[in-house]
Amino acid sequence: MNGSLPRDGEVTALLGVLHSQRRHVLGILDGLDAQALRRPVLPSGWHCLGLVQHLALDVERFWFRAVVAGDAQVILGLPSGDEAWTVAPDVPAAEVLDGYRREAERADAVIASTPADASLAWWPHDLFGEPHLHSLRDVLLHVIAETACHAGHLDAARELIDGRRWLVLT
pLDDT greater at residue 124 or residue 3: 124
User: What is the per-residue pLDDT across 61-106, written as a single tens digit (0 to 9) for each?
Assistant: 999 999 999 999 999 999 999 999 999 999 999 999 999 999 999 9
d(CA 151, CA 164) in angstroms, rounded, equals 14
Domains in the chain (CATH in brackets) are: 9-162 (1.20.120.450)
CA distances from 30 to 103, 108, 155, 169 (A): 19, 23, 12, 18
**For the whole model, what pTM was predicted?**
0.93
pLDDT band of 167, cuts 50, 70, 90? confident
CA atoms within 13 A on the CB side of 21: 25
d(CA 61, CA 169) in angstroms, rounded, equals 29
Nearest CA to 29 out of 18, 16, 39, 42 is that of 39
Contact in structure between 161 and 39 (CB atoms under 8 Å):
yes
Q: Where does residue 149 fall: left (phi above 0), alpha (psi -120 to 50 degrees), or beta otherwise?
A: alpha
DSSP 8-state secondary structure symbol assigned to residue 33? -
